[in-house]
Structure 1
Amino acid sequence: MSKFGELINTQLPVLIDFYTEWNEPSVSMHPVIRDVAAALGDKAKVIKIDVDKNQELAEALRIKGLPTLMIYKAGEMIWRQSGELDANTLIGIVQEQL
Structure 2
Amino acid sequence: MAQTSFQDLINGEKPVLIDFFATWCGPCHAYSPILKQLKEELGDGMRLVKIDVDRNPEITEKLGVQAMPTTMIFHRGELKFRAAGVQSPQTLKDELAKLS
**TM-score (normalizing by structure 1):** 0.93
Aligned-partner Cα distance in 1 for 2:66–2:91: 22
Partner of 1:15: 17
Distance in 1, matches of 2:63 and 2:86, equals 18
Shift of 1:88: 2.5
- Match of 1:82, as an amino acid? A
Is 1:34 aligned to residue 11 of structure 2?
A: no
What's the counterpart of residue 49 of structure 1?
51
- Among 82, 85, 97, the alignment partner of 2:84 is 82
After the TM superposition, which parts of structure 1 deviate over 4 Å for at least 4 consecutive aligned residues? none
- Tell me the amino acid that sits aligned with residue 90 of structure 1: L
2:79 aligns to what SS in structure 1?
strand
- Aligned residue among 27, 33, 39 for 1:25: 27
Compute the displacement of 1:94 (Å).
1.2
Q: Percent identity?
A: 36
| 1:55-66 superposed matches below 5 A | 55-66=57-68
- Measured in 2, the distance between the counterparts of 1:82 and 1:97 equals 20
> Unaligned stretches of 5+ in structure 1?
none
CA RMSD, Structure 1 to Structure 2 (Å): 1.4
Long gaps (5+) in structure 2: none
Cα deviation, 1:48-80, whole Å, max 9, x if unaligned, reads 111111001000000011100001011111110
One-letter amino acid matched to 2:87: L
> How high is the TM-score relative to the length of structure 2?
0.91
